[in-house]
Structure 1
Amino acid sequence: MTAAGSASGAGWRGHWPRQLFQAALWGGFAALNLWQFQRYVGLHSGLVLIALMLALGLWAASEALRSLTLRRGWLRLGGTALGWRLAAGVALAASMLQALIALALVGGLQFGWLQMPGGQADYRFGSLLGYWFNTAVLLGAWLAVWVGVVARRQARENELARLRAESARRGLELEALRARLNPHFVFNALNNVRALINEDPPRARDMVTRLSNTLRHALQHSQRDRVRLDEEWAVIEDYLAVEAVHFEQRLRTDLRLDARCAAVELPPMLLQGLVENAVKHGIAVTPGGGLLRVVAEPLAQGVKLVVENPGRLGRSPSPGSGVGLSWLRQRLEERGPPARFDLSQLDSDTVRATLEWPA
């Protein structure tokens, strides 16, 4: 939400509370002027007119400048651009207000409707400049306070938005962690280990090691902002080795890591999320399974990751909206261009996920 949108929607906590504040402020200003007139020169009808018109005029001018500032989006400009626009508005509003007061006062005196001390109004150049300056100072002070209040509220809203985004990101990380620790995956892996203990003890030990590596990486992923691609690749190999025991001949893999992009750093579990998505929505739901192909090749500045798996987009109830892909899109949004992700149907039976990540 922009400052203009926030202020126009709520004002100073709403329209009526702001108007009550305005009434109290300028009403008090009028009362102070009348008290001073009464004490020092006596209360004359012309002075009463000046006090009332000045208070009402400042009220109207402050509201008009506030509305103009919000409508034109000046608060988004900030700095010098905002300052000179407000200063010009204050100068013009003060001039118009003093001109209206002068017309009313001079006309009232001329027709005998008003009385002033000495029988006439003082509109010498120095006095006129003083009237204008006092009006401009009062109006400028009001605008400065209002802009400060809006700016402070906007800063608070921005901070709240940042904290909400951070909270959402952390929540997504926790969801991703829960997904990596999927009880079905762990349950299947442990059952397979138990079956292998008697049949093939060396393979059972290897599977326990690979499962341990996969789970350790999942538990530690939130403690690092970046990992090397070759580190992530090792975890992918461990994960697929564990899944290969479960899916047996249904899972065939083709992993190709170009050595030139091994040192590229990327957010942890970015590639693993794509691979797990391919297993869950491709291999697991395709009769007979198929080939899971993972390729990493260098770009001019970065790496291109391609994951292909059997399947068809639209086969799952919510394709492309799982935790893994949500996590990936969150990272893409944070990184911005030239990071790019595409999920497409390569042919009638193959889905391709392509991720381009800048170094």
Structure 2
Amino acid sequence: MSKRLLFVLGIVLLWWTAYALMFASQVVGMGEEQGAPVSWREALRYSFGGWMTWVPLSLGLYLAVRRFPLERGRLFASAAVLTLAALLVVMLRAAHVYFTNPIFGWYAQLPDFSSVLAASLSKNFMMAWTVIGAAHALVFYEQAREREQRVVDLERGLIAARLEALRAQLHPHFLFNALNSVAEMVHEDVELADRMLVSLSAMLRDALSHEQAQERPLRRELELLRHYLTIEKIRLGERLRIDWAVPEECLDVPVPALILQPLVENAIVHALARRREPGVLSLSAARRDGLLQLHVENSLAPGEPPAPGFGVGLRSVESRLQLLYGGHARFERRDIGRERHIVAIGIPLPAAAPGAAGLAA
């Protein structure tokens, strides 16, 4: 038996048990008022013997309503089926009364079955339709909940698909740049090229992994970011200085996977790699105002216009923040004077972010 059917059975049992107890109480009360006392034992036997037969009948009517609900498109067909179901209930109730009369004494003198059936029709036909109405309320409620759940599942599936599509755009974007850097270095310094390949292999493992989680701890993001920066540091040499300011308390906060690397790559490709003089890339993090605030700041190339538009990486970052956190996330980029550019993102902190312990930024 399914959980849903067990739940309905529990409701039906509870309802008819309460109804039988209430009816027994009325029988006892009426007996006392009329000067013909009826014991509780006799009243309960009589009440439960009659009303509890509605438990299987109600369950059967519920199943009939689930199969043939009164709804647009088949209203008359369903009404005919449910009318037949109600008449079947009338007959079953009549048969119960007729054959159990020796036990419960429904009639002092048992009439023929047609008379019992007529009495059952007058008493039980409308009761059956009352049960059918209650069953419709329950069925329609279940259908509404199922529709809501389907909508939620579809929305989650759509968001997951869009997030995966955005994430998939990032992998070839930075991997091809990293491969180009290794290809350039292998002709100049084999040892440095080997270090670059080690870092690249770590990035490839992450790119090709089957990990489906959209979020992971900031410490994991920083580990992969260090591999990327190892490659760029070797390629740019003294032209790239890196400053870190990430406190321990931020390291275990979950962040979207690959959220920092596109920001850092944008800073290097569009600004730092175009400089002749040394430039600074600064990465900082802080927990403030219910957000994990991450800042990527970089030197601009002297005399160069600001970095052109939003590329694939930055568009993906902003889109993923919107999909994952809606209006609770922040994304901002701006120039600080003519020398510096900053990209700031804010990621909502979990209700109880664990304290970090381990990797120092």
TM-score, structure 1 as length reference: 0.51
- Which residue of the partner structure matches residue 322 of structure 2? 329
- 2:143 corresponds to: 152
Give the equivalent residue in structure 2 for 1:220. Answer: 209
Equivalent pairs: percent with the same residue? 22
* Counterpart position of 1:22: 75
Q: 1:161 is matched with which residue? A: 152
Residue 315 of structure 1: CA displacement? 4.6
Q: Deviations over 1:43-84 (max 9, x none)?
A: xxxxxxxxxxxxxxxxxxxxxxxxxxxxxxxxxxxxxxxxxx
Using the alignment, how far apart are the partners of 1:138 and 1:313 within structure 2? 75
Are the aligned partners of 2:192 and 2:234 in contact in 1 as well (CA < 8 Å)? no
| Partner of residue 270 from structure 2, selected from 271, 285, 295 | 285
Bigger helix fraction:
1
Q: Give yes or no for contact 1:345–1:351 (8 Å, CA) kept in 2.
A: yes
| TM-aligned CA deviation for residue 236 of structure 1 | 1.0
Distance (whole Å) between structure 2 residues aligned to residue 132 and residue 253 of structure 1: 87
Find the aligned partners of 1:223 and 1:260 in 2 and give their Cα distance. Answer: 25
Partner SS for 1:296: strand
Aligned partners of 2:322 and 2:329 also within 8 Å: no
- In the TM superposition, residue 160 of structure 1 has moved relative to its aligned partner by 5.2
Match among 334, 346, 355 for residue 345 of structure 1: 334
The 3-state SS of whatever aligns with 1:222 is: coil
Decide which moves more: 287-296 or 130-139: 130-139
Residues 40-119 of structure 1 aligned to structure 2 (within 5 Å): none
Amino acid at match of 1:253: I
Partner of 1:181, secondary structure, is: helix
**In 2, are the aligned partners of 1:306 and 1:354 still within 8 Å (CA)?**
yes
The residue correspondences of 1:26-37 to structure 2 (distance < 5 A) are 26=79
Change (3 A) 1:145 1:200: same
**Structure 1 SS opposite 2:309:** coil
Quote how far apart the aligned CAs of 1:196 are: 2.1
Partner of 1:142: 133
Q: Given that residues 304 and 354 in structure 1 are in contact (C-alpha distance below 8 angstroms), is that contact kept between their aligned partners in structure 2?
A: yes
- Unaligned 5+ runs, structure 2: 1-69, 87-118, 354-361
Residue 189 (structure 1) shift: 2.8
Secondary structure class of the residue paired with 2:193? helix
Cα pair 2:216 2:255 within 8 Å, conserved: yes
In structure 2, how many angstroms separate the alpha carbons of the residues matched to 1:226 and 1:28?
53
**1:140 offset after TM fit, Å?**
5.1
Equivalents in 1 of 2:123, 2:298: separation in Å?
A: 77
Please name the residue that 1:316 is paired with. 309
Corresponding residue of 2:102: none
RMSD, aligned α-carbons = 4.5
Structure 1 residue 301 displacement after superposition: 7.9
Deviation for aligned residue 1:204: 1.0
What does 1:199-210 correspond to in 2, within 5 Å? 199-210=188-199
Instruction: Report the CA distance shift for 1:295/1:321 in structure 2 as closer, same or farther (over 3 A).
Output: closer
Q: Describe the superposition over 1:19-65 as per-residue Cα deviations: whole angstroms up to 9, x where unpaired.
A: 553344557889999xxxxxxxxxxxxxxxxxxxxxxxxxxxxxxxx
Tell me the CA shift for residue 266 of structure 1.
1.2
Write the letter of the residue equivalent to 1:323: S
Cα deviation code 1:281-334 (max 9, x no counterpart)? x4433484554321123459884322234689995157997223323333335x
Structural mapping, 1:258-297, within 5 Å: 258-262=247-251, 264-267=252-255, 269=257, 272-280=258-266, 282-286=267-271, 288=274, 291-297=280-286
Are the counterparts in 2 of residues 313 and 351 from structure 1 also a CA contact under 8 Å? Answer: no
What is the number of equivalent residue pairs in this alignment?
240
The aligned counterpart of 1:99 is: none
> 1:206 is matched by which residue type in structure 2?
R
**Residue 305 of structure 1 pairs with residue 290 of structure 2:** no
Partner of 2:57: none
Residues in 1 aligned to 2:307 and 2:193: alpha-carbon distance in whole angstroms: 37
Q: 1:31 to 1:249 in 2, by over 3 A?
A: same
> Which residue in the other structure is 2:356 paired with?
none
Q: Distance in 2 between matches of 1:235 and 1:132?
A: 76
Equivalent positions of 1:248-259 (< 5 A) are 252-259=241-248
Q: Distance in 1 between matches of 2:288 and 2:189?
A: 42
Shift of 1:345: 2.7
Q: Which residue of 2 aligns with 1:8?
A: none
* Residue identity in the other structure for 2:189: D
